[in-house]
Chains A and B, each alone.
Chain A
Amino acid sequence: MHKHLDKFWTLILLGLIVRLALCFWTGHPWDFEVFIRVGYYVAKGSSLFGIYPAESYYNEGLGQPIFPYVTGLGYLPAWGLYTALTYKIYSLLPVSPFFYYFLLKLAPMLGDLASTQLIYSLTRIVTGKVEKARLNALTFFLCPFIILVSAVWGMFDSIPLAFTLASALLLLLDKPFLSGLCLGMGIYIKVVPIIYLPIHMLYLSSKRDVREALIHLLTALLVPFILTMVPLVYFGWETSKAAITIFSQTQRTGEVLTYWNLSALLNDLFPFSSGMLNEVFSFPLVRYFWVLGLIVGYLLYHKLQKSSSEPQSLSLPLKGHLLATIGFLLTRTFIPEQFVLYLAPLIIVQAKGWRSEKSLGWMHVWVSALTFTFINLYPFAFAYLINPEFWRTFSYLASTKPYSSVRYFARFITALLFDLLLVKILCGMVRSREESA
Chain B
Amino acid sequence: MKKVLNLLRDKKVHYVVIVWVLLIKVVEIIAELLANIELLHFFELLGFGYLSTTSRIVWDALVAITIIWLVYRLAKDTFQISLGIRQLSKRALLTTILLLVWTASSVTAVLQFAQALSLPPASPQLEISRYYAPCNTANGGLATYFTINDAEQGANVTLDLSKSVFSNAFSSYEIGEISMFGVKDGGLSYFSLKDSQMGQKMIEMKFFGNGTDGLDGWFANKIQLEEPLKVNENTTLILLLKLEPSSDNTAWTYIKLDFLSADNEKYSLVWKFHDTPINSMLYSTDKKMKMYLLGSSVEWTFFQFNLQNVFYTSFSIHPKILTCIEYGVGAEADNIVTVHFLLAKISDCPLKVNGELVESVKPTLKLDDSGILFEGANVSRLYATSTLKPCKKEKHFQLFLTKISRFEKYEWSLPEHHQEVEKQIRFNSINNSTRIFLNGREVISKTRVFELSAYEPLALQDEVTLTVVNEVDTYLMPIISILLIPPLALCLWKTFKSKEKMESAYAAFYF
Contacts and interface: CB of A to CB of B under 8 A. Distances in A.
Given A248-B45, A283-B55, A299-B16, 15 more contacts: A240-B41, A243-B43, A247-B46, A251-B45, A272-B400, A275-B402, A275-B473, A276-B402, A282-B55, A288-B20, A288-B23, A292-B16, A295-B19, A296-B16, A299-B12
B62 interface: yes
A244 interface: yes
Interface of A: 239-241, 243-244, 247-248, 250-251, 270, 272-273, 275-276, 279, 282-285, 288, 291-292, 295-296, 299
Nearest to B400: A272
Nearest to A248: B45
Return the 8 tightest CB-CB contacts between A and B, nearest first: A276-B402, A247-B45, A243-B42, A292-B20, A240-B42, A244-B42, A272-B400, A288-B24
Contacts of A270: 401
B21 A285 contact: yes
Contacts of B19: 295
Contacts of B401: 270, 272-273, 276
Contact of B20 (A243, A250, A291): A291
A273 B42 contact: no
A140 B337 CA distance: 83
Contacts of B58: 283
A284 B28 CA distance: 9
Interface SS of B by simple majority = helix
A276 B477 CA distance: 12
Given A250-B46, A276-B475, A276-B476, A283 B59 contact: yes
B7 to A, nearest CB: 11
B12 to A, nearest CB: 8
A285 B16 contact: no
A105 B331 CA distance: 75
Contacts of B402: 272-273, 275-276
A295 B20 contact: yes
Interface string B439-482: 00000000000000000000000000000000001011000000
Contacts of A276: 401-403, 473, 475-476
B363 to A, nearest CB: 46
A291 B43 CA distance: 18
A288 B19 CA distance: 12
A270 to B, nearest CB: 7
A240 B40 CA distance: 7
Contacts of A244: 42, 45
B27 interface: yes
B50 interface: yes
A247 B43 CA distance: 8
B3 to A, nearest CB: 10
B45 A285 contact: no
Contacts of B16: 292, 295-296, 299
A342 B12 CA distance: 29
A275 B403 contact: yes
Given A275-B403, A276-B401, A284 B42 contact: no
Interface in B19-53: 19-21, 23-24, 27-28, 39-43, 45-46, 48, 50-52
B17 interface: yes
A284 B27 CA distance: 10
Contacts of B52: 279
A248 B42 CA distance: 10
Contact of A291 (B23, B403, B475): B23
A222 to B, nearest CB: 20
Nearest to B48: A284
B55 A285 contact: no
B46 A284 contact: no
Nearest to B17: A292
Most buried by A among B43, B62, B402: B402
A270 B476 CA distance: 14
A299 B476 CA distance: 36
B63 to A, nearest CB: 9
Nearest to A274: B402
Nearest to B21: A285
A296 B7 CA distance: 13
A275 B19 CA distance: 30
A285 B24 contact: yes
A192 to B, nearest CB: 18
Contact of B62 (A248, A251, A285, A299): A285
Contacts of B21: 285
A239 B42 CA distance: 9
